[in-house]
Amino acid sequence: MFRLRWQTAGESHGPGLTALVDGIPAGLEIDFGVLAMEMARRQRGHGRGGRMKIETDAVRITAGVRYGRTTGGPVALWIENRDYENWQPVTHPEPLGAAERPSRQRLRPRPGHADLVGLVKFGHDDVRDVLERASARETAARVGVGALAKQLLAQFDVAIMSHVVALGGVTANAPTDVDHFAAEWLQALEMSPVRCLDAGAAIAMIAAIDAAKESGDTLGGVFEVRARGLPIGLGSYTQWNRKLDGRLAQALMSIPAIKGVEIGEGFASAHAPGSAVHDALFVDGSGSNAVLTRLRRRSNRAGGLEGGVTNGEELVARAAMKPIATLRRPVASVDLATGEAVRATAERSDVCAVPAAAVVGEAMTAITLADALLDKLGGDSMQESLAAWRRYRESLSRAFGAAEP
């Protein structure tokens, strides 16, 4: 468990963001163009704020890769914050005298943000010390880590995608039998300002975002992440912290503003009888091939996971994102210095970041699945891991002999 260990560091308006990733096998070829593309995807989406016009989120790999291939050592990523130029006196790492410090102390916490709880927890006297790290800007580093994880998974024919299924009260009605990984669908998603497969719903979502911006409000929504190509057997049912559905839920829930996660039909299954929930098994065809290689499901309400273990179907997870806590017309708060009723701090922010959060969701899913795959296969090099992958697939083809004619 936790073959892939990683952490991020950095503040929203500090010099930059750092990520350190340990456990990637040696010999993984890194496509730097794909890495840049993944970073750019996070910056898109109708409703993003002015910050996205400043940052370019270019990633520098400063350790763990030589001549485009991982060495087996920790991989270090660096993402410069271009906006730091405008914030140096406020977020300066080195000591500054009182006369040199700008008078931008923040003592008006935003309800729904980490401002108040973080200030109390760490004993700060300025909300700035909290909001800089609690900012969703940190997710840029996660997408960098996720881009590495996606390239690792691709070596095992595992693909991941995401799309928005609800936003601002508008629900998408994309066909349920659509191939979410078809090239035309993926291309359409990248062209959509709200990452939505339903063109009519996308228009309504854009209108809802524009209306919220006009009124100084913010909007949330729901995005879905899918993974295809996962083998049976990732994760475990033997311990609570090895169950893959639990680990995925934690990973998605850790994204700023996410307040709910479901796997497969999740919450809907709680309102239906078991006969309408569980995915019936059948054997596709007959012949000399082993039963396990031809097992199929008549549905995928479980979302690709049973008992905390992948079952070979597409993994389907959804996450609910609340509206962003920073509003141009802030909600009521309290001045912590005086106790007076005030309006919350108004930082520059997005109106809606659900499409961007979907890309972050892809990254967190990829990191979690890459870790589970490496936990299953082992190997210090890609050569060893791929050999273990081939042996595992061969063992499935031999299991249980042939199906009955």
Closest among 348, 131, 125 to 256, alpha carbons compared: 131
- Rank 88-92, 103-107, 169-173 by mean pLDDT and report only the highest: 169-173
Q: Is the pLDDT reported for residue 231 higher than 60?
A: yes
Domain that holds residue 377: 106-398
Q: 350 or 24: which carries more pLDDT confidence?
A: 24
d(CA 269, CA 301): 8
**What is the three-class DSSP state of 303?**
coil
> Can you give the pLDDT at residue 289?
64
pTM: 0.94
Q: Is residue 341 part of a domain?
A: yes
Average pLDDT, the chain: 91
If you average pLDDT over residues 382-397, what whole number do you get? 93
If you average pLDDT over residues 318-333, what whole number do you get? 92
Q: Which pair of structure tokens corresponds to residue 302?
A: 């479980």
Taking CA atoms, 362 is separated from 9, 73, 93, 160, 358, in Å, by 20, 24, 32, 7, 6
> Can you give the pLDDT at residue 91?
82
Q: 322 or 285: which carries more pLDDT confidence?
A: 322
Q: 330 or 114: which carries more pLDDT confidence?
A: 114
Q: Is residue 77 part of a domain?
A: no
Q: How many domains does the chain have?
A: 1
Q: Is residue 300 part of a domain?
A: yes
Q: Is residue 267 part of a domain?
A: yes
> Can you give the pLDDT at residue 51?
60
Q: Is residue 294 part of a domain?
A: yes
> Can you give the pLDDT at residue 149?
98
Q: What percent of the chain has pLDDT over 70?
A: 94
Q: Is residue 52 part of a domain?
A: no
Taking CA atoms, 241 is separated from 98, 259, 396, in Å, by 48, 20, 26
Domain CATH number, residue 351? 3.60.150.10
Render pLDDT for 332-364 as a digit per residue (tens, 0 to 9). Answer: 999 998 999 999 877 767 899 999 999 999 999
Q: Is residue 257 part of a domain?
A: yes
> Can you give the pLDDT at residue 286?
66
Q: Is residue 274 part of a domain?
A: yes
